């Protein structure tokens, strides 16, 4: 994310964020996220918050040092999941990324690795190849990838069970900020920006999701903990496909594996 110029801190009244409500969330996890040290470490900082939530007291700088970065900065959710697998966690990725996964592949999920290799061989796409390699390693290590459906139900389901969700989404859409060019806002020449946050609570009545955001001075909410309507959040997650995000990452200490349920009723 770009550094926020002073003039961008003002928000239109019609889009003023609602402060988190106290005591009304049907599921509200006691999760704390540290401010990310720089513009490109949102992913490791969110991963660190999830580790700490489960009582895994690893230092933030160690997580940052151990999670592989992308050439232009930032990282991929699968690299975060890869790190968690090596720390004895179960890791499940629910994906909406059709740039990387074809929906028909999930009719036979055991063939995902084979399909990914075939796709890389058939397409001359360096970015695709860069994203494919960690997925192959992730699957080989026992990680699970599912084609996601009903994101709002998935979010409610895991939060009710006390499980935080790490998600890669479009910061440009979530914050309603200008696109970016060379880490600066540029509405004309800029490109959408991706970001990682942790989902830590849900209010069924208002349909708000509680977000723990490592970007402490983000351009719309201006704070690390805030409530956002689930429809806006889901749209931001889906639009994460532009930056090879568009996923929900669920981590649990090994032995408590997450399995997708086709129907979930939240009461």
Go through the domains of the chain in sequence order and give each one's CATH number. Answer: 41-253 (3.90.70.10)
pTM: 0.85
Q: Is 31 left (phi over 0), alpha (psi -120 to 50) or beta?
A: beta
DSSP string, 44-73: HHHHHHHHHHTT----HHHHHHHSPPPTTS
Task: Determine the Cα–Cα distance for residues 230 and 252; give it in Å rounded to an integer.
Answer: 23
Q: Enumerate the H helices of 87-229 as residue ranges.
A: 112-122, 126-140, 151-160, 171-175
Note the pLDDT tens digit of each residue in 62-105: 999 999 999 888 899 999 999 999 999 999 999 999 999 999 99
Token pair of 55 as six digits:
């009582």
φ/ψ (deg, to 5) at 141: -85, 0
pLDDT in tens, 195-213: 999 999 999 889 999 999 9
Q: How far is CA 249 from CA 123, 172, 180, 213, 231, in A?
A: 27, 20, 25, 15, 19
Query: How many angstroms separate the CA atoms of 242 and 97, rounded?
Result: 9
From CA 209, how far away is CA 212, in angstroms rounded?
10
pLDDT over 70, % of the chain = 86
Burial class of residue 57, CB neighbours in 10 A (0-12, 13-18, 19+): exposed
CA–CA distances in Å: residue 162 to residues 53, 113, 144, 200: 10, 31, 20, 9
Q: Cα angle vertex 258, ends 88, 131, to 5°?
A: 70
Report the pLDDT value the prediction gives residue 26, as an integer from 0 to 100: 66
Among 11-15, 86-90, 144-148, 172-176, name the one with the lowest average pLDDT: 11-15
Q: What value does the mean pLDDT take over residues 162-186?
A: 90
C-alpha distances in Å from residue 150, one per residue of 76, 81, 142: 22, 22, 24
Residue position matching structure tokens 């690893």: 58
pLDDT at position 258 over 70:
no
Q: Say yes or no to pLDDT of 126 above 50.
A: yes
DSSP SS3 for 14: helix
The two tokens of residue 154 are: 């998935």
């Amino acid at each position: 994310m770009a550094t926020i110029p002073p003039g961008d801190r003002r928000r239109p009244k019609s889009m003023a964020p609602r402060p988190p409500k106290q005591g009304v969330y049907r599921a509200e996890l006691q999760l704390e996220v540290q401010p990310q040290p720089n513009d490109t470490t949102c992913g490791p900082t969110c991963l660190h918050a999830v580790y700490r939530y489960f009582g895994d007291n690893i230092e933030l700088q160690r997580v940052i040092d151990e999670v592989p970065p992308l050439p232009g900065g930032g990282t991929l959710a699968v690299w975060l999941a890869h790190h968690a697998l090596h720390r004895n966690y179960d890791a499940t990725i629910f994906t909406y990324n059709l740039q990387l996964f074809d929906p028909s592949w999930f009719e036979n999920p055991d063939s995902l690795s084979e399909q990914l290799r075939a796709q890389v061989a058939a397409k001359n796409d360096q970015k695709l190849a860069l994203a494919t390699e960690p997925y192959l390693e992730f699957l080989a290590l026992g990680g699970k990838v599912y084609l996601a459906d009903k994101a709002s139900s998935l979010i409610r389901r895991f939060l009710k069970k006390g499980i935080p969700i790490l998600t890669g989404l479009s910061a440009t859409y979530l914050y309603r900020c200008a696109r970016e060019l060379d880490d600066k806002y540029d509405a004309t020449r800029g490109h959408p920006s991706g970001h990682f946050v942790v989902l830590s609570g849900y209010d069924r009545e208002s349909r708000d999701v509680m977000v723990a955001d490592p970007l402490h001075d983000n351009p719309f909410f201006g704070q690390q903990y805030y409530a956002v309507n689930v429809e806006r959040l889901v749209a931001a997650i889906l639009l994460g496909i532009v930056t090879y995000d568009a996923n929900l990452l669920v981590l649990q200490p090994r032995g408590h594996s997450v399995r997708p349920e086709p129907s979930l009723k939240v009461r």
